[in-house]
Amino acid sequence: MFAVAKAATVLGVNGHIVDVEVDLARGLPSFEIVGLPDTALRESRQRVRAALKNQGYAFPMHRLTVNLAPGNLRKTGSAFDLAIALGILAAGGLIPENRLQDVLVLGELSLDGKIRGVGGVLPMAMAAVCEGITEALVPVDNGSEAGLVQGLSAVVVQDLAEAVGVLTGCRSAAVPKPAEFLETGYSAVNDLSEVKGQLTARRALEIAAAGRHNLLLVGPPGCGKTMLARCLPGILPPLSNQEAVEVARIYSVANGGLGQLKLTLAPPFRSPHHSSTKAGIIGGGLLPHPGEVTLAHRGVLFLDEVGEFGRSVLDVLRQPLEDGVVSLVRYGYSVKYPSECQLVMAANPCPCGFLGSSIKECTCTGREIAAYRRRLSGPLLDRIDLQVWMDALKPKDYHTKQESSDKVRKRVVAARKAGDNTCDTNLGPADLSACARQILETAAERFRLSARAVQKTIKVSRTVALLGQSCQIGAEHVAEALTYRLSL
Amino acid sequence: MSPRMYLWGLSLLPHVGSITAKRLINVLGSEAKAFWANTRELCAAGGLSFKNAKEVVSAREQLDLALKWKVLNEEFIGGKNNKGLITWLDRDYPPLLHEIPDPPLVLYFWGKLECLTRPTIAIVGRRKASPRGIGWAKRLGRELASFGITIVSGLALGVDAAAHAGALETGMTAAILGSGLDRIYPRANNRLARAIPKKGVLISPFPSGTPPLRGNFPARNRIISGLSRGVIVVEAGERSGSLITASLAVEQNRDVYAVPGDPLDVGASGPNRLIQDGAKLIFGAEDVLEEMYLSRQLKLPISQEHGKTAPSEASGISKLDKSLGRLLNCLDGPLHLDEIAVKTNLPAADVTSGLIQLELKGLVEELTKGVFQRIG
């Protein structure tokens, strides 16, 4: 009286296959789950018991032990319900014993036996294929995710009885439609044609998009910093299918199976509030959960009012931005979350926001301004390639007509393509033209640029040159890059 | 033991300002006697209250004057870094300062003290100046300094710093501090302060280690106006430090000049009020020169470094391409990059790249972030 079903759990953004072993033994009736289950998983006993009863199956009057193997891996979530229920039925002889061997079974049970969607189906299904599992039973809500995975024939099931029917062959299997790659995500973000004036900042945004540069916008309140930043995903090139799946995988884990997964090609855009905690930004918790920097993977992380963020919160961003990955170490295990995102920050020039503004007087004291700037400065600024000082809009700018995001995106895509063709990103000073080198030297002396600043300028000049479809970095490209040098 | 030492000693005592010191010296006959005055003499001759006099005496007892003097002299007489101390009694004490009612007993300096023998003009104004104000201060500083005038100011942020920076480009400048010479305040001006001793002078009435206390600044303002033949107020709010300097200048019988501004502008209310009260309205450096009986013909040979770059700049203009010329022409005042782009109808890429090129050629300057102005 023994059966094994296959389920899976998620660690980081990777799925791990878990064997659900069910043993029915003589003795006083009891129901025990072992193998490091978390609370949600331990509670599955009640759900399984009720679901079996309400679907018309008799709950075995045996000593019932469920073991989740490997035993040293922490298992989380409610996705094991269906596997446990089917395992019990198989152990009781209702389902052929070997039938469950090569089927990944995922789903949460409601008390009446209906199957609810769960989080992380995409990485779990991917892990199943790696382990040689070829079949999967998944909730209807997760059908599109599971259908995406090549080499896995997924079946969606609505309730426990249907699942049993499919496994015993009495019912025909409903094959889910795999999720489609949608480009509609672009319509959700702001369009550049809505942004009035701010010509320099628009240009900086275009350069940032073309070169994946991190950007800092400084300007008085209401000048359009946030709006501009929200336009950035709209001018980024669409994700490749592979990238879209990477992103979908993260959201599959993070969303906890709430509704159908959207497989959008528009890069993600995250703008956490400045009261966010460290764990909220880079991920964390006792059982780690991805943070904002991971949710912005392959997209944009926007920190509005960056001066208001806690200093320690900004500091923890350094390593993820540098390495493109967050690794969180917990007792006994560690998880890695991808975090390759583009950082955009917006800040006021001083606490009141009007320092240097042409429309309003600043009311801050020098000490306040210095303290505010100190909070902005520091190691995070090292990651910033471009900085723009914006001024308030002039009334006559309100009626100007501006380019749309689609047009700008075309240029960005062209520049990226040109950049990919000319190989590596570490274009050294050798590719600077003679006058470009001269202007860079003069500027380095005049503006007292550090070696790092010079390096950044070259990096940005390269992007500017690519945007201009030029094969060499000229003086005008370096000069433009210098405008956006970091200065606080 | 020299009278200089005792004069210096007097400057270190609490409650003893220059007026009290002067009185003590006159009544008691010498600097030494003034320094060693007992409580009764301090009260009678110096006009101090009994409590203050006792504090003076106790402070004096804790002060090992001879030893400190020795240390000070060792530090200065080495003469390595142009640092030094001048007192009332010295020949090179600025003569203009002797004219004011309460000249400081001693001044600590770092740099070229001789720049105070030239005609001097003070430029003061707001710390939070507008780009326009910064532009004016820089331009006035640059132009007046090129006529051999030493620009005096207070090394504060905004107008002061701009005036010093402008003057350093073509001539000399003197910065008066409200703290010890080793405690540059505000720290944002550290770099500027380090550049000044090479071409001008840093001056403080306070010994090394004195922090920039609020109470130090009136004394500094008095010296700024006292050292100068005239004071130019560029931008100032009503009831501001700059207006105090201007009223001190009037008391000290100095000229007051003011750069006018829009009446609705907060930063212009100070100079506008001064003009209403009779200050001379100036449109540019010429107005000041005229008032000082210096004409353009008197222009001193400007420093070599500047002379060298000037011709190359001139020939550079002809070589500039069209869009740079267009940029240069549209800059009739301080303008933000975006405004320039709208005005010239050039794409933002050309505007930003062009302005940096012009800046590196020395034809325009960035006043505040993103705001540019034409030079000259």
DSSP A43-59: THHHHHHHHHHHTTPPP
Q: Which residues of B touch A355 (CB under 8 A)?
A: 128
Identify whether A175 is part of a domain: no
Instruction: Say which of B341, B357, B371 has its CB closest to residue A479.
Output: B357
- pLDDT digits 0-9 by tens, B289-343: 888 876 555 555 444 344 334 444 444 444 457 788 888 888 888 889 998 998 8
Identify whether A409 is part of a domain: no
Across A141-154, average pLDDT: 90
Antiparallel, parallel or unpaired: β A386-389 and A215-218: parallel
The label of the residue with tokens 């764990």 reads A279
Identify whether B349 is part of a domain: yes
Instruction: Say which of B338, B354, B360 has its CB closest to residue A446.
Output: B360
Residues A118 and A15 in one domain: yes
pLDDT in the model for residue B318: 46
Q: Around Cβ B333, how many Cβ atoms within 10 Å?
A: 11
Give the Cα separation of A265 and B139 in Å (integer): 54
Q: Does B266 sit within 8 Å of A479, measured CB to CB?
A: no
Residues B139 and B208 in one domain: yes
CB contact at 8 A, A203 and A284: no
Query: What is the average pLDDT score of chain A?
Result: 88
Give the Cα separation of B168 and B176 in Å (integer): 15
Q: Does B357 sit within 8 Å of A476, measured CB to CB?
A: yes
Identify whether A339 is part of a domain: yes
Q: Which of A352-366, B223-237, B241-255 has the lowest mean pLDDT?
A: A352-366
Residue B373, strand partner residues = B365
CB contact at 8 A, A305 and A337: no
Q: Does B128 sit within 8 Å of A355, measured CB to CB?
A: yes
Smallest CA–CA distance from A197 into chain B, residue: B338
Q: Is A259 or B26 the better-scoring residue by pLDDT?
A: B26
Give the Cα separation of B188 and B194 in Å (integer): 12
- CATH number (domain holding residue B11): 1.10.150.20
Q: Around Cβ A468, how many Cβ atoms within 10 Å?
A: 17
Name the nearest CA neighbour of A395 among A361, A362, A358. A358
Identify whether B87 is part of a domain: no
Smallest CA–CA distance from B334 into chain A, residue: A358
DSSP A243-271: HHHHHHHHHHHHHTS-SPPPEE-SPPEE-
- C-alpha distances out from residue B309 to A425, B314, B329, B357, Å: 37, 9, 21, 15
Q: Does B338 sit within 8 Å of A197, measured CB to CB?
A: yes
Q: Is residue A66's pLDDT more than 60? A: yes
Q: Check residue A259 and give left, alpha or beta (phi > 0: left; psi -120 to 50: alpha).
A: left
Q: Does A203 sit within 8 Å of B353, measured CB to CB?
A: no
- The answer to whether the bond into A96 is cis (omega within 30° of 0) is no
Q: Is residue A381's pLDDT more than 90? A: no
Q: Which domain holds residue B57?
A: 1-64
Q: How many percent of chain A have pLDDT more than 90? A: 49
Q: Is residue B79's pLDDT more than 90? A: no
Residues A382 and A442 in one domain: no
pLDDT in the model for residue B307: 39
Q: Which of A112-126, A258-272, B124-138, B304-318 has the lowest mean pLDDT?
A: B304-318
Query: Which one of A168, A203, A235 terminates a domain?
Result: A168
Q: Does B371 sit within 8 Å of A479, measured CB to CB?
A: no
What SS3 class is residue A486? coil
Calculate ∠ Cα B45-B48-B54, nearest 5°.
110
- C-alpha distances out from residue B343 to A389, A474, B137, B338, B372, Å: 19, 26, 25, 9, 13
Q: Is residue B72's pLDDT more than 50? A: yes
pLDDT in the model for residue B299: 52
Can you list the alpha helix ranges (DSSP code H) found in A169-235? Answer: 199-211, 225-235
The label of the residue with tokens 């006083």 reads A28
Instruction: Say which of A388, A479, A487 has its CB closest to residue B353.
Output: A479
CA distance A480 to chain B (A): 4
- CATH number (domain holding residue B211): 3.40.50.450
All residues at 6 or more sequence positions from B49 whose CB lies less than 8 Å from its CB, including other chains = B43
What SS3 class is residue A15? strand
CA distance B113 to chain A (A): 28
Identify whether A44 is part of a domain: yes
Q: Does A479 sit within 8 Å of B354, measured CB to CB?
A: yes
Residues A201 and A235 in one domain: yes
Residues B294 and B206 in one domain: yes
Give the Cα separation of B195 and B259 in Å (integer): 27
pLDDT in the model for residue B310: 41
Identify whether B105 is part of a domain: no
Nearest 10 degrees: Cα torsion B103, B107, B111, B113 = 40
Q: Which of A363-367, A412-416, B283-287, B350-354 has the lowest mean pLDDT?
A: A363-367
pLDDT in the model for residue A422: 66
- C-alpha distances out from residue B157 to B149, B163, B240, B283, Å: 22, 10, 14, 23
Give the Cα separation of A271 and A289 in Å (integer): 17
Across the A/B interface, how many CB contacts are shorter than 8 Å? 89
- C-alpha distances out from residue A438 to A36, A365, B236, B317, Å: 65, 40, 41, 18
Q: Which of A12-16, A189-193, B143-147 has the lowest mean pLDDT?
A: A189-193
Q: Which residues of A touch B356 (CB under 8 A)?
A: 439, 443, 479-480, 482-483
Query: What secondary structure, in 3-state letters, does chain B show?
Result: CCHHHHHHHHHHCCCCCHHHHHHHHHHHCCHHHHHCCCHHHHHHCCCCCHHHHHHHHHHHHHCCHHHHHHHHHHHHHCCCCCEEEEECCCCCCCHHHHHCCCCCCEEEEEECHHHHHCCEEEEECCCCCCHHHHHHHHHHHHHHHHCCCEEEECCCCCHHHHHHHHHHHHCCEEEECCCCCCCCCCHHHHHHHHHHHHHCEEEECCCCCCCCCHHHHHHHHHHHHHCCCEEEECCCCCCCHHHHHHHHHHHCCCEEEECCCCCCCHHHHHHHHHHHCCCEECCCHHHHHHHCCCCHHHCCCCCHHHHHHHHHHHHHHHHCCHHHHHHHHHCCCCEEHHHHHHHHCCCHHHHHHHHHHHHHCCCEEECCCCEEEECC
Chain B contact for A217 (CB, 8 A cutoff):
no
Across B256-282, average pLDDT: 92
Residue A343, strand partner residues = A301
Identify whether A412 is part of a domain: no
Give the Cα separation of A219 and A74 in Å (integer): 48
Residue A387, strand partner residues = A216
Residues B285 and B325 in one domain: no
pLDDT in the model for residue A82: 95
Give the Cα separation of A105 and A90 in Å (integer): 13
Query: Which one of A168, A193, A224 terminates a domain?
Result: A168
Residues A355 and A209 in one domain: yes
Give the Cα separation of A357 and A368 in Å (integer): 17
CA distance B128 to chain A (A): 8
Identify whether B139 is part of a domain: yes
CA distance A203 to chain B (A): 6
Name the nearest CA neighbour of B206 among B46, B60, B77, B14. B14
pLDDT in the model for residue B303: 42
Residues B237 and B317 in one domain: no
Residues B289 and B324 in one domain: no
Residues B179 and B45 in one domain: no
Confidence of residue A47 (pLDDT cuts 50, 70, 90): very high
CA distance B227 to chain A (A): 27
Residues B164 and B235 in one domain: yes
CA distance B371 to chain A (A): 9
All residues at 6 or more sequence positions from B114 whose CB lies less than 8 Å from its CB, including other chains = B92
Query: Which one of B257, B273, B298 terminates a domain?
Result: B298
Smallest CA–CA distance from B345 into chain A, residue: A199
Identify whether A110 is part of a domain: yes
Confidence of residue A6 (pLDDT cuts 50, 70, 90): very high
pLDDT in the model for residue B295: 54
- pLDDT digits 0-9 by tens, A89-111: 999 999 997 889 889 999 999 99
pLDDT in the model for residue A128: 95
Q: Which residues of B touch A362 (CB under 8 A)?
A: 128
Identify whether B107 is part of a domain: no
Query: Which one of B264, B298, B332 terminates a domain?
Result: B298
Instruction: Say which of B266, B353, B360 has its CB closest to residue A480.
Output: B353
Identify whether B151 is part of a domain: yes
Residues A147 and A202 in one domain: no
How many structural domains does chain A have?
A: 3
Backbone angles phi, psi at B38, to 5 degrees: -85, 175
Amino acid letter, B338? D
CB contact at 8 A, A142 and A106: yes
Give the Cα separation of A148 and A18 in Å (integer): 21
Query: Which one of A144, A168, A192 terminates a domain?
Result: A168
Q: Which of B126, B127, B128 to mutate to test the interface with A (most CBs of A within 10 A)?
A: B128
Identify whether B172 is part of a domain: yes
Confidence of residue B1 (pLDDT cuts 50, 70, 90): low
Residues A400 and A488 in one domain: no
Q: Is residue A49's pLDDT more than 50? A: yes
What SS3 class is residue A428? coil
Q: Which domain holds residue A334?
A: 184-404
> In this structure, is the dihedral angle defined by the CA atoms of residues B333, B336, B341 and B347, taken in order, positive or negative?
positive
- pLDDT digits 0-9 by tens, B12-46: 999 998 899 999 999 999 999 999 999 999 999 88
Give the Cα separation of A273 and A320 in Å (integer): 19
Residues A43 and A153 in one domain: yes
Identify whether B96 is part of a domain: no
- The answer to whether the bond into A178 is cis (omega within 30° of 0) is no
The number of CA neighbours under 13 Å toward the Cβ of A371 is: 8
Across A262-266, average pLDDT: 82
CB contact at 8 A, A247 and A212: no
Answering whether pTM is above 0.90, one says no
- CATH number (domain holding residue A106): 3.30.230.10
ipTM value: 0.80
Q: Is residue A356's pLDDT more than 80? A: no
Residue A139, strand partner residues = A157
Amino acid letter, A371? A
Residues A50 and A103 in one domain: yes
All residues at 6 or more sequence positions from A249 whose CB lies less than 8 Å from its CB, including other chains = A13, A122, A123, A126
Identify whether A303 is part of a domain: yes
CB contact at 8 A, A144 and A176: yes
Query: Which one of B298, B317, B352 terminates a domain?
Result: B298
CA distance B375 to chain A (A): 16
- CATH number (domain holding residue B315): 1.10.10.10
- pLDDT digits 0-9 by tens, B212-241: 999 999 999 999 999 999 999 999 998 899
Instruction: Say which of B127, B360, B370 has its CB closest to residue A389.
Output: B370
Q: Which two tokens stand for residue A260?
A: 């159908």
- pLDDT digits 0-9 by tens, A227-241: 999 999 889 999 988
Give the Cα separation of A419 and A329 in Å (integer): 37
The label of the residue with tokens 């010429």 reads B286
Q: Which residues of A touch B369 (CB under 8 A)?
A: 218, 349, 356, 389, 487
Residues 98-127, chain A, touching B (beta carbon < 8 A): none
Q: Around Cβ B224, how many Cβ atoms within 10 Å?
A: 26
Residues B146 and B288 in one domain: yes
How many structural domains does chain B have?
A: 3
- pLDDT digits 0-9 by tens, B198-208: 999 999 999 99
Q: Is residue A88's pLDDT more than 80? A: yes
pLDDT in the model for residue A187: 66
Smallest CA–CA distance from A196 into chain B, residue: B338
pLDDT in the model for residue B207: 92
CB contact at 8 A, A34 and A91: no
Residues A331 and A451 in one domain: no
pLDDT in the model for residue B315: 41
Residues B191 and B281 in one domain: yes
Query: What is the average pLDDT score of chain B?
Result: 87
The label of the residue with tokens 């049970």 reads A109
